[in-house]
Amino acid sequence: MRCAGRTVAQTTLAVMLSMVASMSLADGISTSVSGYGTVGGTFTSDGNYAYFHNETEFNGASNSFDVGLDSRIGVQAVVSFDSQWSVTAQELAKLRGNSKFDPATEWLFAQYQPDSDLKLRLGRVVLPVFLLSDTINVGYAAPWFNAPNDVYYAVPYEYLDGGQVLWQHSLGPFQLGLEGTYGETDATLELAGTQVIAKSKSTFDVAVSLSWRNLLVRYAETRLNSATTVLESATTTLSLAVHDRFHCAGLQYDDGKALLMSEWIKRDEDNLVGFNKPFAEDTGWYVAAGWHFGKFTPLASYSVLNITSSIVQSAARYGSWGASLRYDVVRNVDLKLQVNRAQAGDSAYWVVANPSSNERVNVYSFGADFVF
Amino acid sequence: MHRRIKSLCLSLALGLMLAGPALAGELVVVMGPGAGPITKDQLADVYLGRSNTLKPLDLPESNGLRDQFYKRVTDRDAAQVKALWSRIIFTGQGQPPKELPDAAAVKKAVAADPRMVGYMDKSDADASVKVVLSLH
């Protein structure tokens, strides 16, 4: 995939438009439009610490209630030309980088589905590293307000421009799923006040999942090959080639009453040439358990981040607690409250972590999710 | 004011009377005439988007049978089902079960396509379809 990211998206759009133009409405084209959103915010118990979801958010939410960080709205259109060919487009407006509330394309792909098991996609897809990566912005689909940071902060890339193959097959009571994604992506992040531009080429992700009734297990391997540019000052830049390998195992059980979710991820890297250390390496996991009491779903979680000594961090281990409550107001609107108790040194939580402090800081979030 | 309360009570009572027979009725799952039996677990997989072996049909959200069906088959209420489908819809993996206006439309659809499956009150099922599962 030699063309730039935007070019792939534009090509897909052009293909979509030409397909629309070449087919008349009488051919049975169907369009379905839907959307999702979240209105809510976050604040922390200590003004020295600003919470973020990952390093693509530069300012974070501190001890005054911030609605920018968690509010977002997405709209999706699926145009089906027949039972095999379709185009899916999803635009999402949310805060990106330095306090800009920007719309951007999350998904834009043409899909060919030769039979009910196989889907071939070309265009932009969300990079599905973790169990819930592909719906991380769809608050209504999740039991919590914010997914556990100790796992979900680790990948700054959201999408991939390239191709994707999805295969799902029923084997008696089991459902087997295979997923392969290949392409390129980029992201702008900030590490302790320093801007970093990362572009990953030849990125790929393979995942296998198996579900049986209410139980789902998934394992995914992701390779990122990031040309990383650290903007040290207006005139000095440092260029690094970072090769990340993500190994992720996830489990989800939901029988309509009990809810159990857990993920374990490990990021390892080759040592950087000339440094004899990786750029960033860590292991994270969480366990979350909840119960559906009618319209209420309380959930408790515990997550851990184990950091290996690297260029950007010293070795450390952090643990954080979380509790959330979901209330389903009506069929397509929920209200959520969440409290997380995280350590001041945990870089998965804070824009500027303080590794020398053992202090615990609370993160309070509340808001409403909706789908339409 | 008094009158308004009275009329509200009356319409509530009327609503309950109308909803009553539907709530107490027996739900049946129907497919085309040549179909074999289906288990509750298989049906839950189909209606929660976990299996693509069959094409599920829904009744409108305003129809009380719909919530009853999901409660009995999947042990989930409407919001839980919607949350599960949100994950499927917003990853472009699929669309929720096709919604048809009433039992007559469901009968017509399942009779025409052997991969379609629907549900209705037992009294609505006739010889044009085959009952593949009864939900008491």
ipTM: 0.90
| Cβ-defined contact of B93 to A88 (cutoff 8 Å) | no
Contact A68, A99 (CB under 8 A): yes
pLDDT value of position A270? 87
> Which of B77, B89, B93 is the best mutation test for A, with the most CBs of A within 10 A?
B89
> Which segment of A27-31, A79-83, A96-100 scores lowest on mean pLDDT?
A96-100
Burial classification of residue B112, based on how many CB atoms lie within 10 Å of its CB (0-12 exposed, 13-18 middle, 19 or more buried): exposed
* Predicted structure pTM score: 0.88
Q: Per residue in A207-242, is it b (16+ CB within 10 Å) or e — as a string?
A: bebebeebebbbbbebebebebbbeeeeeeeeebeb
Calculate mean pLDDT across residues A187-215.
Answer: 92
Min CA distance, B94 vs chain A (Å)? 10
More confident residue, A66 or A193: A66
Distance of alpha carbon B92 from alpha carbon A76, whole angstroms: 9
Test A175 with B51 for CB contact under 8 angstroms: yes
Of A13 and A52, which is predicted with more confidence?
A: A52
The Cα A9–Cα A18 span in angstroms is 14
User: What order of strands is seen across the sheet that includes strand B116-121?
Assistant: B98-99, B55-58, B116-121, B27-31, B130-135
- Closest by CA to A189, choosing from A329, A42, A368, A312, is A312
* pLDDT per residue as tens digits for the range A209-255: 999 999 999 999 999 999 989 888 888 888 888 899 999 999 999 99
User: pLDDT at position A22, please?
Assistant: 53
- The rounded mean pLDDT for chain A is 91
Say which residue the tokens 């974070």 belong to.
A60
pLDDT of residue A100: 72
Chain A residue with Cα closest to B85? A141
CA A323 – CA A144 distance, rounded (Å): 8
| b/e per residue A76-94 (b: at least 16 CB within 10 A) | bebbbbeeeebbbbbbbeb
Hey, what are A250's tokens? 């996830």
**Coil, helix or strand at residue B86:** helix
Q: CA-CA distance, A86 to A114, in Å (whole number)?
A: 11
| Neighbour tally for A321: CB within 10 Å | 14
pLDDT at A116 over 50: yes
Across A26-35, A128-137, B26-35, B36-45, least confident range: A26-35
Q: What is the mean pLDDT of chain B?
A: 87
Q: Using a pLDDT cut of 90, give the percent of chain A over it.
A: 76
Both tokens of A365, joined, read 């979030």
- Identify the closest residue of chain A to B40 by CA–CA distance: A213
B44 CA: distance to closest CA in chain A (Å)? 8
Q: Report how far residue A259's alpha carbon sits from residue A195's, in angstroms, rounded to the nearest whole number.
A: 39
Out of A4-13, A260-269, A276-285, A315-324, least confident range: A4-13
Pairing status of strand A85-96 against strand A72-80: antiparallel
pLDDT of the residue at B18: 46
- Give A71's Cβ-side CA count (13 Å radius): 11
Model confidence over B15-72: pLDDT tens digits?
A: 444 444 445 579 999 999 999 999 999 999 999 999 999 999 999 999 999 999 999 9
So what's the pLDDT on residue A191? Answer: 80
Percent of all residues in chain A with a pLDDT value above 70, rounded to a whole number: 92
Interval A134-155 mean pLDDT: 96
| Structure tokens, B40 | 């509750």
Contact B75 A256 (CB under 8 A): yes
With an 8 Å Cβ cutoff, is A172 touching chain B? no
CA triplet A325, A97, B90: central angle to 5 degrees? 50
Gap between the Cα atoms of A135 and A50, Å rounded: 24
**Interchain contact, A371 vs B82, CB within 8 Å:** yes
- For residue range B81-129, list pLDDT tens digits in order: 999 999 999 999 999 999 999 999 999 999 999 999 999 999 999 999 9
Element (H, E) at B135: strand B130-135
Residue A33, both tokens: 């439009």
CB contact under 8 A, B80 and A256: yes
Name the token pair of A313: 């961090």
Structure-token match 């490990």, residue found: A266
* pLDDT at residue number A27: 61
Q: Does B38 touch chain A (CB under 8 A)?
A: no
